[in-house]
Amino acid sequence: MHEPTPTLDPSHPRRYADFSTLPEALDYAAGGKRGVNFYSPRGELESSITYAQIRDRAHEIGRRLVHFGIKRYSRVALIAETNEDFVCYFLGCQYAGLLPVPLPLPTSFGGRDGYTEQLHQQMKSCEASVALSAAYMLPLLDEATNGLGMEFIGSPDTFEAQASLAEIKNVKLPEVHPEDLAYLQYSSGSTRFPHGVAVTHSSLVSNCHGIGVEAMDVNDDDRVVSWLPFYHDMGLVGMLLSPITCQVSIDYIATEAFARRPIQWLKLISRNKGTICSSPTFGYEICARRANSTDLEGLDLSSWRVAGIGADMIRPDVLEMFAEKFKDCGYNKKAFMPSYGLAECTLAVSFAPTFSGYTVDLVSEDVLNGDVKSVKEYKKNGNGANYREVVNCGKPLSSYNLEIRDEKDVVLDDREIGRIFLKGKSVMVGYYMDEAATKQCLSEDGWLDTGDIGYMADGSLFIIGRIKDMIIINGKNHWPHDIEWAVEKLPELRSGDSAAISIPGKNNEEVPAILVQCRKRDEEERVDLENRIKSEVQAVIGKTPEVILVPPRSLPRTSSGKLSRVKARRQYLEGQLT
């Protein structure tokens, strides 16, 4: 049985993302013995490939793409499976001067038609010339590319059958420059009106430097272990491209395998002494909920020093649950590293300090509902029902300027809530081929309106929510996650089981509603659950909501697994959720 690539490689001095382009970074990484490893759902090593082997195959793929006649800067749609083919084709596009576009795999949410329509819209919006997927996916890919006039649709095997090695031997690869575009990243929610974020090599390498050096302080003992999908910025940049630019070995299990057997992620960390392993909050939650006493036997998480958290609102109660569950396995809660980022900034914006755990502000309901704009130092009193724990997402990376602004664009002081604006090297140059959408959020002088609400305190960033998700009832603002978190504390509910929305009332006023996935069939039990949900929501917003019980797994998700409240509301109003 072959061995995974090593963690340590004394023969190859490490460089910390000080490159000008991604191909330059891979060329350097190829001088060592480290690389990437892919594991089965049962945790068995399926394949191992060094960065030298990846570089050689990426060179070959790049020459094939040039030989095939794909014009420079053309878009190459890649269905982002967790395997060697995706990694090598993504990097092969870099050498060929093409723009890879990572696209999601099918999920259990939304069905076949919704999935192929999403792919179709994304490939149409970027005018992709080539679409590649594993052979078993080709029927779906054929459907999704119908009418798009692609130059090639197929699997890596069928593409590579187009020319022999002898035919491509003398093909010259183009020069790649720092300000060239490297790839397009679709944000997880971009489905009906997709916006592909255009990322340059310069932006990418700058962000990788911020992640690897400023945030995570990468060292020779580090090893990444990941289940995050490559079509999401956190998986692509955080758990693939950033480790490449810092020459770190990586172990992967597929996202679907993690969803079915999350404990395998932890077992892989334990076995290979993983040190850098990130996840949205829900990943930590399903590990804590599903792990039984047998799973904990022999599990050693003491090597884990960076447990990154991001991609969604961070729930302190879940982090406490995870830390408590695995403390006897050597997990240290100081490893938690809250962060903030978005695809429009390549990935990362801010990080809490390494190995300092997480801290929270207790924020009053008066602030959350918009009556007061300034966050004071509140002490928790009574049962704490009128407070929310807001997690400290750390200090912005040094490459950014960050401002909190009010609705008139006036810059606010410390502890005053407003919209988050960013300017810096990792901010996107724009949405690809979408000038109107770019102008809506990116000013001529380079300031990005993130659409997120938050405040600064003592140099650190605190996130309150996303402006488009806000629910306004009787002139008061309410954040949906506050309502959902309150409801999901009920013992029979899980994280992600509810969606807080507003719906039209009798006189066209908006009334609060909550869609809740219910596993109960007994009518008395369902009525009891409804009443308890109403009570929880009443305590949060001071108004009784409409409660709609829906079947398990029926609430719509984005491609990265996040709840899509906008789609849930639309489906409910159209009668699709009952």
Tokens representing residue 279 in the block: 């996840």
The confidence score (pLDDT) of residue 366 equals 66
pLDDT digits (tens, 9 = 90+) for 273-313: 999 999 998 899 899 989 888 889 999 999 999 999 987 78
Instruction: Output phi, psi for 124, to 5 deg.
Output: -65, -45
**At residue 30, does pLDDT exceed 90?**
yes
Q: Range with the lowest mean pLDDT among 107-121, 337-351, 396-410, 525-539?
A: 107-121
- pLDDT band of 568, cuts 50, 70, 90: confident
Q: Using the Cα atoms of residue 386, residue 281, residue 247 and residue 156 in order, give the sign of their dihedral.
A: negative
Q: For 309-421, where are the alpha helices, taking DSSP H only?
A: 316-326, 365-368
To which residue do tokens 């978190």 refer?
A: 485
Band the pLDDT of 475: cuts 50, 70, 90: low
Least confident window among 128-137, 504-513, 546-555: 504-513
Taking the model in full, what pTM does it have?
0.87
Percent of the chain as helix, strand, coil, to the nearest 5: 35, 25, 40
pLDDT at 492: 85
Helices (H) and strands (E) in the chain, counts: 20, 25
Rounded Cα–Cα distance for residues 102 and 133 (Å): 11
Tokens 């959408």 correspond to: 437
Measured CA to CA, the distance from residue 565 to residue 570 in angstroms comes to 9
**Cβ atoms 77, 123 nearer than 8 A:** yes
HSE of 7, CA atoms in CB hemisphere, 13 A: 17
468 versus 128: which is more confidently predicted? 128
**Assigned token pair, 268:** 């892989």
Helix (H) or strand (E) holding 363: strand 360-364
Query: Which position has the higher pLDDT, 473 or 27?
Result: 27
Question: Helix/strand/coil (H, E, C) string of 518-573?
Answer: CCCCCHHHHHHHHHHHHHHHHHHHCCCCEEEEECCCCCCECCCCCECHHHHHHHHH
Handedness of CA 69, 72, 76, 80 (dihedral sign): positive
Q: Which strands, in side-by-side order, build the sheet including 448-457?
A: 400-405, 418-424, 448-457, 460-466
In angstroms, the Cα distances linking 351 to 207, 217, 307, 412, 562 are 12, 12, 11, 21, 21
Per residue in 210-245, pLDDT (tens digit) is 999 999 999 999 999 999 999 999 999 999 999 999
Q: What is the pLDDT of residue 191?
A: 44
- Residue 376's pLDDT is 60
> Percentage of the chain with pLDDT > 90?
62
> Rounded mean pLDDT of 10-15?
94
Distance CA 443, CA 446 (A): 5
Structure tokens at 218: 């990468």
- Report all structural domains of the chain as residue ranges with CATH numbers, in order of start: 365-465 (2.30.38.10), 470-573 (3.30.300.30)
Helix, strand or coil, per DSSP, at residue 58: helix
Question: Residue 235 and residue 303: Cα distance in Å, rounded?
Answer: 21
pLDDT exceeds 90 at position 157: yes
- Does the pLDDT at position 109 exceed 70? no
Hey, what amino acid is at 123?
M
pLDDT of residue 508: 67
**Cα–Cα distance, 400 to 398 (Å, whole number):** 5
User: Mean pLDDT throughout 457-482?
Assistant: 81
